Amino acid sequence: MPEDAYPQGAWDSTDLSDSQGTGASSGHGRPPIHPQQSSSESSGTASHYQRSGSPQPRLSSDSGGVSSTSKWRDTTTLISESHESASGNAEPSNLVETTFDENVLRALCDMDCGVPLLLDRIKQSMVSCREASVFLKKRAVIEEEYGKSLQKLARTTSEVYSMNDGKAGTFVNAWQSTMRIHEIMGENRARFAQRLNEMSEELATIAKEVDKTRKSTKELATRYERALQEAEGLTEKSKNRLDISSEELERLLLQKEGEASKDNYVQAKPVGGKRAIGKAVAKGGLLLKGKNPGNIQRQEDEIRARVSAASDTFRKAVIDAQTMRQEYFNFQLPRILRALKECSDEIDLGTQYHLTRYAFLFESIVLSDGSTLVPSKDESSTAIGLKTAIEMIDNRGDFKTYMQNYAFAHGSSSRGPRREGPSDEGFLPPLVNHQNNPSLPSNNSNNSNNSNGIHVPDKGRPTFGVDLGEQMIRDDVDVPPIMRKCCEAIEKYGLDVQGIYRLSGTTSKVQKLKQLLDKDLDSVDLDSPEWSSDINNVTGVLKMWLRELPEPLMTFSLQQSFIEAAKIENDRLRHIRLHERVNDLPDPNYATLKYLLGHLHEVYQHSSVNSMTVQNLAIVFGPTLFGSPVPNAQGPAANGVADAPYQNMGIETILKHYNDIFVEETA
């Protein structure tokens, strides 16, 4: 009968509620996981459902022509499609292990609560994944704010210091290096924050896609379980209908054979026999009293037809329910459990992967900060650490340089009490006049004799404070004699002296040697023990001669050009521009600079002993060769203290490329 057939709309149910039980709740036993077989008595077609050690997918032809189960197979592709979609969008394609744990799947199939177990587990994993994503997001915000703040602080501090009247020399170099180290650390933190943002977004995507797959698989499992429960309910109804029809047939047959039954009953039990038969007849619902035998036979045929139809309906319902049960437990349930387990593995492994990646990046950023603060001692590496940069500050040397520059710039305008004056006003005669005073023979012999005790007459050819070009024209030389004389003595006695040129000589000795060289340069013997024993006196005189030139060696006119060239950050381009400025020097200045830097290049070759590297030599000779700003200058030419680092950089670059600038040109 049509009303007894299985309702087709049950396959399209879309109820999304959690199913906490399976079809076993209707009283029919759940089939064990081993090879089984069921047969259909009405159609004679056998359906085989066989399983190996693990559930394997089967073709639709395995169901033996039971058409009502075709929609089971049509909807199974939803699991794989939704799972592939989640795996494809989540990007970490290698999160799920290639070898699936079949033992775990088999254990889940044996459990009555396998599906809700996995659904709850995935829900827990999604909570953990989202928490990890939120943590990485917040950590990224902190790191980004810290990195940008550190970068801004370093840049602002560096710019403000260059605009203020702070200390120059080695301090400003160390200060700029310190700010650069902080800026690099800020850049590293900003990149770390960007990586954290990427990982947070990837985790959020994984959780979103896994949640989508979980819902679709849960909906599919719920639909299968509901269809199985409806099939079992239909079987129960068919059984009840068959039982009712069978009872009616039994009552009819009992009434039809009532007389024989009555006689037998009366004979067996004479007491109360009529009352018992009446009760039995009334209980059986005898409806045929007073009817003829033809009506009774016709009614019997109708009841037998209903019993036969009910029996067929019940048999078909049993076969359909059994077929559906076999299909669900042997094929659909393992596929659903496999999809949910793979979904759980994907989000668990994805979360673990990104947390491991976070740990690695965190370690890397900490190590990067450490290597920035303390660079490795690699010969090819020129980076300096924070502590090294601060230790390079030479306060004593910076103060001496500042004192010299200040005296040169402000000595004429900021004088204190007079040192010399008329003797009748209480002033002592100047020391230089003692040489020509016959009343003081002892002082005359001490101050007018050279190292051999020979009197040095004044030849009238002063060396200190005389224009460089005039000296060289007057003496008809290519290099000033005082420079050649001092450099030869220094190379002979001072190349191995620790801190040569950086250490100052004795002030009185330096002044005495200056006077002797200014009176008669040729008569001074720098090989004598008086001068060779402390070569720092000779270096002091040479630096004094350079400082007292009316115009510095680099000239006032080219001073700003040298500074602009030294400010270029690109090493090669800075070298080229400084080379061009050197070529622009006047001939006397060019020849003197070439000889001096050749001498300093020789000093630098012994830096392993004397500790005078290119940087140290540049710090000593930068202010000396560039001199103080042009008197009464306006604009950039007046920034002597601010330009000191670039003066040093210019001398350092020229000295480093001495062979390229001077030697190869003349070769």
Which class for 18: exposed (0-12), middle (13-18), buried (19 or more C-beta within 10 A)? Answer: exposed
**Token duo for residue 448:** 């007018």
Secondary element (H or E) of residue 103: helix 102-110
Which of 384, 401, 418 is at the close of a domain? 401
Co-location of 492 and 396 in the same domain = no
Contact (Cβ atoms closer than 8 angstroms) between residue 72 and residue 332: yes
Instruction: Tell me, yes or no, whether 287 lies in a domain.
Output: no
Handedness of CA 420, 423, 429, 435 (dihedral sign): positive
In a domain, 433, yes or no: no
Query: Looking at the domain assignment, is residue 428 inside a domain?
Result: no
Are residues 378 and 496 located together in one domain of the fold? no
The answer to whether 621 touches 600, Cβ cutoff 8 Å, is yes
Q: How many domains does the chain have?
A: 2
CA-nearest of 12, 18, 354 to 214 is 18
What is d(CA 515, CA 520) in angstroms, rounded to the nearest whole number?
Answer: 9
Q: 241: how many CB neighbours lie within 10 A of its CB?
A: 20
486 in the same domain as 396: no
Question: What are the two backbone dihedrals, phi and then psi, of residue 494, each rounded to the nearest 5 degrees?
Answer: -120, 0
DSSP 432: G
Q: What is the DSSP letter of 393?
A: -
Q: Output the six-digit token pair for 621.
A: 């000779």
> Which three-class secondary structure state does DSSP give residue 17?
coil
Please give the structure tokens belonging to residue 479: 């290099």
Cβ contacts of 616 within 8 Å, gap of 6 or more: 502
Query: Does 614 share its domain with 477?
Result: yes
Domain boundary among 382, 401, 420: 401
What tokens appear for 552 in the block?
């510095």
What is the distance between the alpha carbons of residues 647 and 667, in angstroms, rounded to a whole number? 28
Contacts of 619 (CB under 8 A, 6+ apart): 169, 170, 394, 397, 401, 648
Structural domain span for residue 381: 102-257+297-401
User: Cβ distance 216 to 166 under 8 Å?
Assistant: no
Q: Which helix (H) or strand (E) holds 39?
A: strand 36-39
Q: How far apart are CA 526 and CA 542, in angstroms?
A: 13
Strand partners, 48: 37
- The pTM (predicted TM-score) of the whole model is 0.44
Can you tell me the distance from the alpha carbon of 75 to that of 501, in angstroms, rounded to the nearest whole number? 91
b or e along 501-522 (b: 16 or more beta carbons within 10 Å of the residue's beta carbon)? bbbbbeeebbbbbbbbbbbbbe
- Indicate the Cα dihedral angle 512, 518, 523, 529, nearest 10°: 30
Same domain, 227 and 363: yes
**Residue 82 falls inside a structural domain:** no
Say if residue 504 is in the same domain as residue 397. no
| Residues 392 and 486 both lie in one domain | no
Contacts for 476 with CB less than 8 Å, ≥ 6 apart:
none
Map residue 373 onto helix, strand or coil. Answer: helix
**Any domain includes 628:** yes
Does 479 lie in the same domain as 360?
A: no
d(CA 442, CA 135): 88
| Residue after which a domain boundary falls, among 348, 369, 401 | 401
The CATH number for 355's domain is 1.20.1270.60
Are 494 and 389 within one domain? no
Write a three-state SS string for 555-593. Answer: CHHHHHHHHHHHCCCCHHHHHHHHHHHHHCCCHHHHHHH
The answer as to whether 81 is a domain residue is no
Name the DSSP class of 392: T
Please tell me the predicted confidence (pLDDT) of residue 111. 84
The verdict on residue 646 lying in a domain is yes
pLDDT number for residue 306: 86
Query: What is the enclosing helix (H) or strand (E) of 258?
Result: helix 258-268
Same domain? 210 vs 334:
yes
Residues 181 and 313 reside in one and the same domain = yes
Question: How far apart, in whole angstroms, are the C-alpha atoms of residue 613 and residue 616?
Answer: 5
Query: Mean pLDDT in runs of 10 for the chain (667 residues)?
Result: 37 36 36 36 34 35 37 43 43 45 83 88 93 94 94 91 83 90 93 94 93 90 88 90 88 70 48 44 45 74 87 89 86 88 91 94 92 79 83 88 78 56 57 42 39 49 87 88 92 90 87 89 88 90 91 91 92 92 92 93 90 91 81 50 84 91 65
Tell me, yes or no, whether 288 lies in a domain. no
- Distance between CA 64 and CA 263 in Å, rounded? 54
Residues 122 and 243 in one domain: yes
Contact predicate 214/343, CB 8 Å: yes
- CATH number of the domain at 533, please: 1.10.555.10
